[in-house]
Amino acid sequence: YIEERNKITDYQRKLLFALWRDYESYTGVPLDAVEAWFKYQYMLHADLDHLPSVSRSGMTKRLATDFVTYTMEYLLDNGIPFQQADWYKGADVARVCYAMLMKRICFICGKEHSDIHHLNGSTIGMGNDREKVSHVGRRVVCLCREDHGKIHQGGELAFFRKHHIVPIKLTEESVKLLNL
């Protein structure tokens, strides 16, 4: 039983196939070729000595989480849209939130060209000049205008719990990449 809990989950398996179908829909590449390509690329990325298997006993939950995250990061980096629903159940949420922030994609709905929301304690404005203030060390999330409005209705903590958001602490490198 314990060994089974450490194996890829059915949800992770479904999520990988859903992401691959999103890739197929966007590019026109047949699903079996998409699956083979992602498995091969991930094998190289993770320095595995064999192609990963997504069968029920084919990999550990930890490896599956990394594979799902790798796939999502690839889609984000290449501007390939994917369904947003419940992605956090099978991926490394912090890594995906960071990738979404770097592409300015809303953490909630996936809308591009979204805004950076500074969390309570990291806010900008109210007398601070955005051009002169250092953003390094401030905690942020990326939200479209609609979801940005919702965060103020019920409070940040409840919003983060509901949507499984991991705020990102800005580094010098991320500030530079985001042009803040």
35-78 confidence digits (pLDDT tens)? 999 999 999 999 999 999 999 888 999 999 999 999 999 999 99
pLDDT of residue 156: 83
pLDDT of residue 157: 83
pLDDT of residue 84: 67
77 vs 168: CA distance, rounded Å: 18
pLDDT of residue 61: 93
141 vs 159: CA distance, rounded Å: 11
pLDDT of residue 8: 93
Residues of the chain with pLDDT under 70: 1-4, 84-85, 120-132
A 10 A CB-CB count for 157 gives 10
> Is the pTM above the cut of 0.75?
yes
